[in-house]
Each structure stands twice: as structure tokens, then as C-alpha cells.
Structure 1
Amino acid sequence: MLSRRRFIAASTSMAALAALGLSPESLARQGLRLGKTRPFSFDALVAQARTLAAAPYAPPPKLPREVLERIDYEAHGKIHFKTDEALFADGPGPFPVTFFHLGRYFQTPVHMHVLDAAGSKTREIVYDPAYFDMPADSPARALPKGAGFAGFRFQESRLNDGRLGDQEKLPWRKNDWVAFLGASYFRAIGELFQYGLSARGIALDVAQADRPEEFPSFTQFHFLPPQDGSDTVTVYALLEGPSVAGAYRFVMQREKAVLMDIECALFLRRDVARLGIAPATSMYWFSETAKATAIDWRPEVHDSDGLAIWNGHGERIWRPLNNPPRTMASAFADQNPHGFGLLQRDRNFDHYQDGVNYDRRPSLWVEPLGDWGEGSVQLIEIPTDDEIHDNIVAMWVPKAPAKAGSEYRLKYRLHWRADEPYPTPLARCVATRLGNGGEPGKPRPQGVRKFMVEFLGGPLEKLPFGVKPEAVLSASRGSFSYVFCEAVPDGVPGHWRAQFDLTTSGDEPVDMRLYLRSGEQTLSETWLYQYHPFAPSKSHG
């Protein structure tokens, strides 16, 4: 029999859980421990971020570094969250939440909270090593009580309702569809069931020569209990860093693709030279465009192969990615863009020959909601000699200087898909190939590079027999020769390529622009490319 004190304590705990709109029996089975009930609203979270930004930055309390350092890659790989302990494992909603453990590479503690059904009260999920399967001698056992988590992920539907096809291939305990882990990074699997590139809450001073890049962190998350049968989940987050504080609302939808509606409020406590909104981070090592001889056995290695932009003037742009000889920053000025994204257009497994599924990596499209004003889509490309490094960043950078005291309220939608959500009706660029310039059978001249740029679909499919597209070319420097268009001899309707030689001197990059037209009719999207002449072999072109 329970003592009176234990009975009152148990009754109080059950009442609190009921107030949260959760089943006491469910959480009792899961073993999750919750902290005190506190009021919550998104407006209050925004106010908290504003207050934090008005004061000097106070980093989160540090956990024992010597313990975290011992939780290295191998030790971290042996720590697994017990799915029986997952938040919402028995509902409400179809998507349980599991948590990542802290370690050497994820040292900032993140505090997880669960809201009531109305979203007006919140309680912290208190960290306990008992939530995790780990070896008896795991260094993680030396962390203090309430240390916090490293991140979280939403598992696939526990209802096995067939919404995504054959659910037997997607048991929820072994499959997840979105993950937040490390600083402000997060990612989703898209419609091809494969993780790839990442998004971030914010990017600060990427590739600035006079200052290091800053990586603010999400330090709090609050989970709103979802509705049973719903394919939507809502999460609130607090962002903190030396230069910024912010509040975020993520409304994430698991359909064939993954959609995220994001609302954020950002407050700067000090000047930022390059403020990156809605940043995407990816990896590009080499592709069919150019590859150093025998650098790797695979034909291509990349998570994304190009930056697509649908600018505010309606122009569709495709910019193939580079692995440059030095860090490069490219800016595409615009006002209220329709969208932009890092895409993986090449879906042919034979072009990769790798079991890590590069052909299935998701494309990420950013769709601004509301007025974003003047600014630029900026592309950062950083040299790499391996696939383990994320070396590509694409983001929106406002035109106005990002000064201390500035505030930003923005909304946007992220589409994690196989392709961009609003495809152009024009022909799309499907390949960019480089080779030595000049005429076959004759000595190849120095400083001449041949380009073959392929386009497919759109109005090219309806060109009358005998009509050839015209290649409209321009460059920041150098001269063109041997310019012509021809149908690719593969029998595919609407598959054409533009061929030309570029002659340059010196080693400064050349920015080129190309599109196809017939008379006054534009036939293709605009191909932009940054060519690095005489680059060392590791730059791959």
C-alpha cells in the first residue's frame, strides 16, 4: 500500500501529466521523468530571445570536458536510445521522438521539453542514462544528472498505416525521417528515404577572411503533442550564440516528401559581416564536369550537384557546383526571390557506383514566405579532398548591414524532395562537361577549354525539324570560339547540347552565362558557371 506522502506525490504527477494531455500510463511505461510545469507560448519564447540578445552572451554551463572527450566516435556508436522510452511511443500522434546522447562531437547540452495539448504549459524531459542502452563501462555513465541531450529525431509512423507505401520496410524503431543534431543543424530524408545535405537555423560569417565562422546552437526544444493520424508535428526552439539569440517554430509534415514551415525571430547582439538566412550545407567533391585522374574509383561523389535559383524577376538559373582551388563566395543579387536550393539532379546510380546512395540524396528547396526584401543568394564553395567534409553553403543574405540591435522576423518553407517543387517549363541543364579545346587531330592550344553543356525537355522537345537552338553566351573575361548547338545523338527528344571553346589567360576565375533561344523565344534556364583556369589538379576543373 502507498504511504500518504507517496500517494499524494503520485497523484500530483499523474494530474500534471493529464494536464499536459499525455497518458500517465504511457509515460510510466516509457520511464520518462519530467520537471516542473512552466507557462509557455511562442511569443514568450521570442521575448526570451530578445532579452538574451540585450545582455552579454552567457554560454551554457559546461559539462566535464574530460568525460565528453572520452565519448569518441566508437564509444558514441555503442550508445542507443531505448525506443520503448521514446516520447509519444504510444501516442498521441504517429511519430515517436527519440534522443541523441552527448559526446565528443556534440558537447553542447540541449534541453528537451514536452508541451500540453494547448501549447500553453511545458515540462522538461529530465536526462537519465537509463533511457539509453550503453555498455557498463561507457564513459557516458560519468556525466552528471540532468546533463541534457545532444539532439532528437522523429521516427517513422508507429501506426503502420501504409501512408508511405510498404510500411513493413519502415519499422519505426529503426527508421527516422528528420533529425536535429549539433549546433543549429537539422536534416530530413526527403521522398527517397535517404539523408544527405543539412539545413541550419542560421549561418554567421561563413568564409569571412577577418573573422571565424560562428556556430550558434539550439539549446531548447519544446514538442507539441500531435494529433492522432496527423502527418504534421510542431516543435519550438531557442537559439543562442555570442552574436545572436532567436526563437523558431518548426511545423514539419511527413508526406511523400518532407515539408517544413519555419518561422523565426532573430536578435543580433553584435555586428555580423555575413548573415545567412535559411542556409543549406552540402558536400561536393567531384562530378562528371571535371575530375582529377584516378583520384577515386567512383565516377562522381557529391550530395548536391548544383544551385538552382528562381529569382524575383522570374529567371530560372542553374549553377553547377565547384570544388575550387581556394574558398570562393558568389553572390546573386535579387529582391524577393521565389526560391533557391541545393539540388541533386543526377539520379543515375551508374554515375556513382557507390552503396551509400548518392543517387538518392535529397534536394533542398527554400521557399520564402512573405517579403524578404533586397539581398542576394550567396554560394560558398570551399576546397576539399575528401567526401567527409561539408564544403558547400547556400543561403540568403539581406542587403542591409546586419548591425548589433537588428531584429529579423522571417517565414519560409523547406522542401526536402527528389527535385525542386516548382519545376521550370523551360529546358533544364542536365550535364556540364569540360575538356581540352581546339580541333581534333591538331595540337591542342594552351589556355583553351572546351565546354559541352546539355539541356533537356521543355520547348526543346517541340522544335520543328531542322531548327537548331542558338547558344547565347557571355563571360566576365576571355573569348569564345567554335560555338554551336547540336542534338545529343541518343534518340531522346529535346536533348540538346551547346558546345564552345573558351580562351583565357591568367588564373583568375571566369564567370560565364549561357541559355538557349530560338528567335525571341527563350528555350532553357540560364546556366551560370565559374571556371577556374589552370587550377591545380585537386580542384577538379
Structure 2
Amino acid sequence: MFDRRQFLQFATATAGLAAAGFPASALAQQGLRYGAPSAFSFEGLKKRARDMAASPYVAPASPSPEILNQIDYDAHGKIKFKTDLALWAKGPSEFPVTFFHMGRYFQKPVHMHVVEKGQAREILYEANYFDMPADSPARKLPENSGFAGFRFQEPRDGKLDWRKNDWVAFLGASYFRAIGELYQYGLSARGLAVDVAVFGKNEEFPDFTNIYFDTPQVGSDTVTVYALLDGPSVTGAYRFVMQRAAAVIMDIDCAVFMRKDVSRLGIAPLTSMYWFSETAKPSAIDWRPEIHDSDGLAMWTGSGERIWRPLNNPPRIITSAFAEQNPKGFGLLQRDRVFDHYLDGVYYDRRPSLWIEPQGGWGKGSIQLVEIPTDDEIHDNVVVMWVPADSARAGDSFEFRYRMHWSAEEPFPTSLARCVATRFGNGGQAGTARPKGVRKFMVEFLGEPLKKLPAGVIPRPVLTASRGEFSNILTEAVPDDVPGHWRTQFDLTTQGTEPVELRCFLRNGEEVLSETWLYQYHPTP
């Protein structure tokens, strides 16, 4: 129910919109106030981004920094959008839209628009869209300050209460994320990565400054969102077609226009957190056995090789580049799904995996992995992205299409045995003095090809290292009575502290049995 003052505000706003020919379906969004109509199309959005790239960058103006700085983490958490006012709370979409308020950590306004029949109208901010304490600093913000982001709620007729559950959220710069089949948020994606971990340059974080919600037909199981990207060195136009199935599927079309030269332009970037796992954990650093949103990078190369690269918490910022041409896919995965390996009520065992499926040929480039040291779980310290081989210089433009799969497992599983664990410790033999500079590695594989091995046949590991020497190589079935569960162990002797690139897969004769395990080992003094 609205009070009289709210009703008069609504009546005044809707009367003006009706005179402008505002669609009847939008009039049903009681309580939301809209701006004047303007023509909208994706091609028009691309042209706008192209034109912007030819002009100097102008940062979005924060409406009132001194007030927004008072809306800290705790104050922001007390500001809740009123679900009765959600966009499409009564249709036509099955998925209502709610909005995030601005605050200390989200000071750039994002303009939200509704599109219907080729016309876009901005949703104008009002403080009364939100429940907030009487003394909240947010009440002092000027009229139409703007929103920080948005989220899609679960379907109105779904098994979950849509007012309390969402499945996609866009918040901060060009960041967005979705839940997977296990109903848990985890890693994030973003529209673009600009100069991540480039020596002598600061990373840029371009913003989605304008969002457009395309009004769907009644009964549609997808939602379409358009976004305008703007930053000091780049602009862009994006289209997201998103489906809430068992997994969340996003089809993304983007056109990117360069304002300035960029050393490392990251397409389809993923951002995650990896602190430690069973692979390497400093003694008594935390009571939990593992803490990570993702435990490895999976790649499916253009030549068909399947690769698994466990993540590291390295001693310094490390960038690894895997040269490719027309990759079939890549992603950051959470393969370890055992609760007892985490013992945490935030459910790291349920964090989604995110797989990028390129659409059309992406040509030459590299899948690049950036790993940044961290001493806490609050920092996203892992970035994965596609970096085109072609330089990104002022005046250049790029177009890419790809599909995102937010799921529990990779959407195109290999028929080969998968790597399921990486462990290492002191090398040498039990009962003898352990030699310095020697590490013992234990790599576990599990899968149908190993399960089908004839009795008595032992798979052969194919091992390579960028430096160092192997010894004490042994492959055996893991003694846990799980069919197809094997492990290869070996000692690696090295000198110095420079990283060592390791590679291993299993074969029987000429038959490849497993995906390829890659690992970057950082020797300690």
C-alpha cells in the first residue's frame, strides 16, 4: 500500500508519461518514475560507443561524495530496495529487477533504462524506492542521484521466494556474477580488463555507465540487457542474453572501441579468489583445510588438447600466457565439491564454475592467467582472460561473441581422465634424510579410460619440466577402492627460486588416457 503522498507522486508521474505515449505495460510499474522517451537499438548503442571513443574521457560525476563516503559497508547493508517496486514485479518478465543503492564503494551512478518497442526511458532514482533507517546518510542525497547496480530475482512462479533470492547481479565498474546449479555466488566476470598486471601502468576499470532492460514477451525464459561501457582508454557496447536454466547461460555480444593504446586488453575476463588448498598450505595459517572460489584453470585448445592448470598463491605477481588460435573454451572451475575439504558455512564447495565458449573464430591470441599474492580470502587475486594477438591501439575496434556457462561442472566434459588433486611435500625416501632442493609431487587422475585398463596394465606418465631433474617416478592405483583412480608421483630436484613449469599426462602405448596437467612450481630457498 502507498501512503497519500506516494500516490500523488505516482499519479503525477504516470499522467505525464501517458501523455508522452508511455506503454501500458510500463505504467503497471507503480512507484517507479521514468524520464522522457528516446529511440534505442543495439546498433545505435554501438555508434554511441564509437563516437565516444573519438572524444576525451569524462569520468561520471559522483552526486555527493561527502555523503556517499558516509554510507560505509554497514550503512550500505541496511539499505534495501523495496521488492514491491521491482521492475516487472507483476510482469511481463518472469524475472523482476531490483536495484543496488550507491555508497562509499559504489560512487559512480549507473543510469537504468527500460526499453519497449524501440523506445528507452530512464528509471529515475528516488530515495523512497529503498527501505533505510531514519538516520541513513542516503536520505541526504540529491534527487535522481542514480543507482549503483541491479540484480535479477528468481522467477515469480519458481520454487524459491523471488523477493529473497536473485540469480544475476551487476555491481561495480563492469563486474557481474551469477549463481550456478548449486545456488551459490562465487567468482565474478567483467565486461573488459584493461592493463592487468602491466609493469609501470595502473590497471583501468571501465564502467558500465548505462544499462538498458529489454521488455520481454510474456512467458519468455530469457532476459536481455544492453550496457554502455566507458573508460579512460576504451568504450564499448554490450548485449547480454541471459537464461536461468539449471545453470545460468549468458550469450554476450560486444563491440569495443579504443580511445588510447592499451598494452593488455582482456576479453571475457574472469576474476576469482584462491588463497590455499591441499596443494600448498602454510602451517596453521587458518583453521579451514582449503579456501578458494576456484581451484584451477581449464582449457580446451584449438587443436583439441584438454588442459588443467591448478591455481597458485604465488610469492609475487605472476602472469602466464598460453598461446592459442581459435580456442574451443576456457574457464575457472571449482572441481573440489567435498564440504569436509572446506568446513565453512559460506559453502566454498558450492561455488560455481565459469566456462567461456567462444562463438566464431577468435583468431590468434593467448589465454592469460594472472595470479596475485594474497593473505586473506577477501581479495580476488586471480584473473583469466583472452588477449588478442593484434595490438590494441587508439582508433582500433574489436567485436567478440561468446557464451558463458555458470555451472557446477564444465559444460563440455572430456572423455579423458581428469586431474582431481595436486599435492607436494619433501622429496626423497621415507626413513632417510630428506635432501634439500627436492620436492615430491603427487598428481591424481580419475576417469573412465583408467577404469577400463586391463588388469595388470599400469599407465605411463609423460613428464616434462622447464628445468630440474625427475627421479623416483611411480604410478599406481590409489588404494581407496575407487575404480579409475590413479596417481603419479615423482621427485623434482631444482636449484634457485625461479618458477618451474611442469607438465604431465597418462598414456597406455599410443593411447592418451588423461587430460594434461600443467603446474607452475615456485621453489623456496
TM-score by length of 2: 0.97
After TM superposition, list the pairs within 5 Å mapping 1:73-472 onto structure 2: 73-116=73-116, 118=117, 120-160=118-158, 167=159, 170-472=160-462
Could you tell me how far 1:229 is from its partner in structure 2? 2.3
1:521 corresponds in structure 2 to 511
* Partner Cα separation in structure 2 for residue 475 and residue 498 of structure 1: 15
What residue is the counterpart of 2:3 in the other structure? none
Secondary structure of the 2:95 match is coil
Separation in 1, partners of 2:157, 2:466:
57
1:67 paired residue number: 67
Shift of the alpha carbon at 1:225?
A: 1.2
In structure 1, the residue corresponding to 2:43 is in which secondary structure?
helix
Inter-partner Cα distance in structure 1 for 2:11 and 2:304: 67
Corresponding residue of 2:40: 40
Tell me if structure 2 keeps the 8 A contact 1:112–1:125: yes
Could you tell me how far 1:230 is from its partner in structure 2?
2.0
Tell me how far apart the structure 2 counterparts of residues 314 and 447 of structure 1 sit (CA, whole Å). Answer: 36
**How many angstroms apart in 2 are the aligned matches of 1:258 and 1:23?**
27
Structure 2 CA distance for partners of 1:8 and 1:174, relative to 1, 3 Å: closer
Name the structure 2 match of 1:13.
17
Partner of 2:25: 22
Q: Which 5+ residue runs of structure 1 have no aligned equivalent?
A: 1-5, 161-166, 536-541
Deviation at 1:416, TM superposition (A): 0.1
Following superposition, the deviation at residue 400 of structure 1 comes to: 1.2
Q: Deviations over 1:460-508 (max 9, x none)?
A: 1110000000000000000000112100001111100010000000000
Question: 1:246–1:9: structure 2 CA closer, same or farther, 3 Å change rule?
Answer: closer
Query: C-alpha distance in 1, partners of 2:254/2:20?
Result: 30
Structure-2 change in CA distance of 1:480 and 1:228 (3 Å): same
- Distance in 1 between residues matched to 2:21 and 2:478, nearest whole Å: 65
Match of 1:497 among 487, 501, 504: 487
Give 1:290 deviation, angstroms: 1.0
Alpha carbons 2:422, 2:442 under 8 Å: kept: yes
Deviates more, 1:6-15 or 1:367-376: 6-15
The alignment partner of 2:355 has SS state of strand
TM-fit CA distance, 1:16: 4.7
* Partner Cα distance (2:268, 2:344) in 1: 30
CA contact (8 A) 2:13 2:33 kept: no
Identical amino acids, percent of aligned pairs: 68
* Separation (CA, whole Å) in 2 of partners of 1:67 and 1:47: 35
Give the distance between the partners of 2:312 and 2:33, measured in 1 at CA: 49
Runs of 4 or more, structure 1, over 4 Å off, are 6-12, 15-18
Task: Give the 3 Å change call, closer, same or farther, for CA 272–8 of structure 1 in structure 2.
Answer: closer
CA distance in 2, matches of 1:8, 1:392: 50
Conserved in 1, the CA contact under 8 Å of 2:474 and 2:488?
Answer: yes
Question: Which residue pairs with 1:539 in the alignment?
Answer: none
Give the SS at the match of 2:69: helix
Q: Deviation of residue 142 (structure 1)?
A: 1.4
Q: Deviations over 1:430-470 (max 9, x none)?
A: 00001100011000000000000000013111100000000
1:111 deviation in Å? Answer: 0.3
Deviation of 1:226 after TM superposition, in Å, equals 1.9
Q: Please give the alpha-carbon distance, in whole angstroms, between the structure 2 residues aligned to 1:197 and 1:379.
A: 15
In the alignment, is the contact (CA less than 8 A) between 2:13 and 2:34 conserved in 1?
no
The alignment partner of 2:44 has SS state of helix
Distance 2:457 2:11 in 1: 86
Shift of 1:14: 2.9
- Residues 1:360 and 1:10: Cα distance change in structure 2 (over 3 Å): closer
CA distance in structure 2 between the aligned counterparts of 1:448 and 1:102, rounded to whole angstroms? 53
- Residue identity matched to 1:521: E
- Give, in angstroms, the shift of residue 65 of structure 1: 1.2
Task: Tell me the CA shift for residue 61 of structure 1.
Answer: 1.9
Report if aligned partners of 1:17, 1:23 keep a CA contact under 8 Å in 2. no
Query: Deviation of residue 10 (structure 1)?
Result: 5.2
Partner Cα separation in structure 1 for residue 193 and residue 301 of structure 2: 21
In the alignment, structure 1 residue 488 sits paired with structure 2 residue 478:
yes
Q: 2: distance between equivalents of 1:104 and 1:280? A: 24
2:94 maps to a residue whose letter is P
Contact 2:115 2:121 in 1 (8 A): yes
Supply the distance in 2 between the matched residues of 1:125 and 1:17 (Cα, whole angstroms): 16
Distance 1:449 1:139 in 2: 56
